[in-house]
Amino acid sequence: MSVIYQKVALIGLGLIASSMAHAMRAGGLAGEIVGHAKSAETRATALEIGLCDRVYATAAEAVQGADLVVLAVPVGAMAAIAEEIAPHLAPGCTVTDVGSVKQAVIAAVQPHIPAGVEFIPGHPMAGTEYSGPRSGFATLYKGRWWLLTPFETTAPAAMVRLRALLEAMGAKVDTMDAAHHDQVLAVVSHTPHLIAYTMVGLAAHMEQVSNSEVIQYSASGFRDFTRIAASDPTMWRDVFLTNKEAVLEILGRFTEELFVLQRAIRMGDGDHLHEYFTRTRAIRRGIIEAGQDTSAPDFGRGPVAEKL
């Protein structure tokens, strides 16, 4: 493999950035990897386990001379970071981010980007329920989608180079409009996460069923929900606050749909339930055919753990 960027600056050193560091090292894709994290402990860990060649106490120092800057902080922290690094970005540098929402990140970052620097918003659809600098690993992005939402004005050469890096890390790259991205993600990720959080939170304060019973007998359904609901709280707070409109719209439709099923249960309308449950099977088949999951049954033993 060959070096694609001479100096990559990772701003934020959690699961996503540390997995990028491992993948770039494994593929020899970066001449040098430097990093910044707010926490001194995280910076020390990043040096200790070799994520970064150098770490800096400020993002402004980290980005100097970098030809790729990756903003891998919670969405709510993007604006302040963009403002801080803007005067220090090298001409010709590409800035990308890994936020799970795109319109809010663009609104926070793009105004600060100086002329001669390309900002290409991105979203790696990969993760686990773990976070922090020790949670990363080189194959996180293998076979996973990495969505980019470039602007009409984005230089083709910058796109080609960034795409080459992401593909060299194993990702499948696709591009889409930022607004559409946020709608798609509200359906396939954000709203399901909120629902899982709700179900798990509810179970924690039942009177009739003890917490220990919920834990002991947690089965499919609930156990899968807890895996989803163990994702990073700060990241998910920011997702819901910044993709508010799309999530609220899907939530409204979800509640409406749930009420129809709830009424069918109350009225004993078995035909309605059976017909509904039959339709949802077709979607599952589509997902397996699209290679987004395997068809092998493993009976709830292999954990599914991912955040977006």
Binding to a copy of itself (CB under 8 A) within 191-210 occurs at 191-204, 206, 208-209
From the CB of 195, what's the least distance to a copy of itself, in Å? 6
Footprint of a copy of itself on residues 36-65 (CB under 8 A)? Answer: none
Binding of a copy of itself at residue 257 (CB under 8 A)?
yes
From the CB of 115, what's the least distance to a copy of itself, in Å? 33
Amino acid letter for position 107: A
Residue nearer to a copy of itself on the CB measure, 73 or 158: 73
Footprint of a copy of itself on residues 284-303 (CB under 8 A)? Answer: 284-287, 290, 292-303
From the CB of 117, what's the least distance to a copy of itself, in Å? 29
- For 4, 66, 98, 182, the CA distances from 93, given in Å and listed in that order, are 13, 7, 17, 26
From the CB of 157, what's the least distance to a copy of itself, in Å? 27
Q: Which residue has the tokens 């509810």?
A: 202
Q: CA 93 to CA 9: how far, in whole Å?
A: 11
From the CB of 141, what's the least distance to a copy of itself, in Å? 9
Binding of a copy of itself at residue 173 (CB under 8 A)?
no
From the CA atom positions of the chain, what is the Rg in Å?
21
Q: CA 158 to CA 189: how far, in whole Å?
A: 29
Q: Name the pairing type of β-strands 68-71 and 54-56.
A: unpaired
Footprint of a copy of itself on residues 210-239 (CB under 8 A)? Answer: 211, 213-231, 233-234, 236-238
Q: CA 198 to CA 203: how far, in whole Å?
A: 9
Q: CA 227 to CA 120: how far, in whole Å?
A: 31
Among 128, 148, 150, 165, indicate the residue that binds a copy of itself (CB under 8 A). 128
